[in-house]
Structure 1
Amino acid sequence: MPLPDDFVPPKLPDVPATPKDAATVMLVRDAAAHGGGHGIEVFLQRRVAGMAFAGGMTVFPGGGLDQRDMDSTASAVAWYGPDASAWAAWFGCETSLARGLVCAAVRETFEESGVLLAGDADGAIVADSTPYHDAREALISRDLSLAAFLDDAGLVLRADLLRPWASWVTPAEEPRRYDARFFLAALPEGQRADDATSETESSAWHRPADALAEADAGQRPMMPPTRVTLAELAEYDTVASALAARREIPRIEPTIVRDSEGVRVEFSLPRGE
């Protein structure tokens, strides 16, 4: 996959940076339920151009783990759905890290889009996240941990609303590297995703194929993992079919190739992708 001139990383350093664990969430909804006709839509954000990592790129909500996503308090988070050991098996990591990744996925989705993947003790999924606006701001400023927020609000983390999707590692040439696990989640009924985050300049729902067409036309810069994931999502007609997909989740680590043809990124996808 060719790289644009303004996104060519430096040559491989003597000692590559250690990737930081991260969680990325593709929020999807059925287009027909929102006046958009056939297929699914995915929530995309364009990052502020001046950001140190992926500035100006189109991305899904997500970010790095906060250490508190993995601390002893996080292990006591009220939790509904597949337990940490199941996520560890899917992502091929330690159970403690898997728990932290799920917590980070829920936290980052709330911080960056206002969508809260949680419910009450009776099993009802949150249908309006606006009453938790102050908590969202405190999470963003790191004045509040996800565990403390959920406990104070009497909420349960809904791991059953997430699906494991992929695992991508930033190339070794990059000074900032992430070991990002990709999750899929349907927009909970009644909730809305917003653009109330300082990290992005715009946010909106897009059909995957439309976003890819804009990328091909040079109108929507995006990194290879985003392009690949959008192409995968474009194969599904409904949110239900995407959520039901059974996927292999190998750790994909692209490499940067420089030769007479220019600079490009190469990687291998699991069979059938």
Structure 2
Amino acid sequence: MQVREPDPSAASLEPRLAATVLLVRDDPFQVLLVKRSAIGSFPSRRVFPGGVVEKQDLHEKWRSLCRGGDHLNDADIAFRIAGIRECWEEAGVLCTVDGELGGLSDARSDDLLSLVERCGAHLDLGHMADFAHWVTPPSAPKRWDTRFLLARAPRDHVLCCDGVETVAADWVEPKVALDRDADDMHGLLFSTRANLQLLAMSDCVDDALEAARNRPLIRVTPSATRKDGRFLVSIPAEAGYPVSEGWVAEAPRL
């Protein structure tokens, strides 16, 4: 897998590789949502932590700094590293197996690879599973090839937004997040809502991880049809979502 520098002229042709993490915990069963700042991608939206795959996520050193990933190829590892990195950068949550991790609040500016090496820690890929794979339609002005990953949250963590990309973060039950969506002036992105609906079919972290590992990973490319000033967004029924279409008030950004 290669990561290329973005070419604005080719944005509609070549989607950028990205990773998004559904970070979950039990008692009660909740998922982490962050609120984007008013500027940048998806302004003021509540989304799962995530972002583009960067060159550092492909570094060869990662294999010796990870556990539970022996069955994964380099591309799979890079997506997982990107997702873990984004959770760390946007919400201050770092999934590790071991290592002295004290004083991390002073290390947010460090790149993840240097931080993990210095602390003698290992990233836990065994607590992650592929959840979904979405690709923005070719007609969109910006495109992403996004791997949605499901991950068990570490027990001892303190949420801490970076204040730049994200301004708030909270744990919420999937069904509660969906109920709130109707009253939120910004609403949820269609992809966020759809994956919350899929996650809400599970009752705990173990069930969600088992369901994800047993579910075929089907590439989802949504389509949108405009009617009466709104957009009907559709996804293939075989993708396994409880709902395969929904209305949005503005041109969908997926």
Does the TM-score normalized on the shorter chain lie above 0.5?
A: yes
How far, CA to CA, are the matches of 1:180 and 1:138 in structure 2? 25
| Compared CA separation, residues 261 and 176, structure 1 to 2 (3 A) | closer
The answer to whether residue 56 in structure 2 is matched with residue 68 in structure 1 is: yes
Q: Which runs of 5+ in 1 are unaligned?
A: 1-12, 33-39, 88-94, 140-145
How far, CA to CA, are the matches of 2:114 and 2:13 in structure 1? 32
Q: Match of 2:97, SS?
A: strand
Q: Match of 1:147, SS?
A: helix
Q: Match of 2:108, SS?
A: helix
TM-score (norm 1): 0.76
Partner of 2:78: 100
Q: Judge conservation of contact 1:45–1:59 (CA < 8 Å) in 2.
A: yes
> In terms of mean alpha carbon deviation, does 168-177 or 183-192 score higher?
168-177
1:74-99 CA distance string (max 9 Å, x none): 4x44221032xx44xxxxxxx33222
Q: Judge conservation of contact 1:77–1:147 (CA < 8 Å) in 2.
A: no
Aligned with residue 33 of structure 2, among 28, 44, 48: 44
Partner of 2:156: 190
How far, CA to CA, are the matches of 1:232 and 1:64 in structure 2? 23
Shift of 1:207: 1.3
How far, CA to CA, are the matches of 2:32 and 2:240 in structure 1? 25
Q: Judge conservation of contact 1:69–1:103 (CA < 8 Å) in 2.
A: yes
How far, CA to CA, are the matches of 2:14 and 2:114 in structure 1? 29
Q: How does 1:15-26 map to 2 (within 5 A)?
A: 16-26=12-22
How far, CA to CA, are the matches of 2:45 and 2:139 in structure 1? 18
Partner of 1:120: 98
Give the counterpart letter for 2:149 in structure 1.
Answer: F
1:155-206 CA distance string (max 9 Å, x none): 1121012111011112323322211101111221122333334212321111
> In terms of mean alpha carbon deviation, does 146-155 or 130-139 score higher?
130-139
Root mean square deviation, CA, Å: 2.4
| Compared CA separation, residues 210 and 130, structure 1 to 2 (3 A) | farther
Aligned with residue 155 of structure 1, among 121, 144, 149: 121
Give the counterpart letter for 2:91 in structure 1.
Answer: S
Identity of aligned residues (%): 31
How far, CA to CA, are the matches of 1:14 and 1:65 in structure 2? 17
TM-score (norm 2): 0.81
How far, CA to CA, are the matches of 2:163 and 2:102 in structure 1? 14
| Compared CA separation, residues 256 and 116, structure 1 to 2 (3 A) | same
Give the counterpart letter for 1:78 in structure 2.
Answer: L
How far, CA to CA, are the matches of 1:14 and 1:187 in structure 2? 36
Which structure exhibits the higher relative contact order, with contacts defined as CA atoms closer than 8 Å and separated by 6 or more residues?
A: 1
Q: Match of 2:238, SS?
A: coil
How far, CA to CA, are the matches of 1:159 and 1:82 in structure 2? 5
The answer to whether residue 101 in structure 2 is matched with residue 133 in structure 1 is: no
Q: Judge conservation of contact 2:220–2:239 (CA < 8 Å) in 1.
A: no
Q: Match of 1:160, SS?
A: coil
Shift of 1:71: 3.2
Count of aligned positions: 231
The answer to whether residue 69 in structure 2 is matched with residue 82 in structure 1 is: yes
Q: Which runs of 5+ in 2 are unaligned?
A: 1-8, 242-254
Shift of 1:248: 1.5
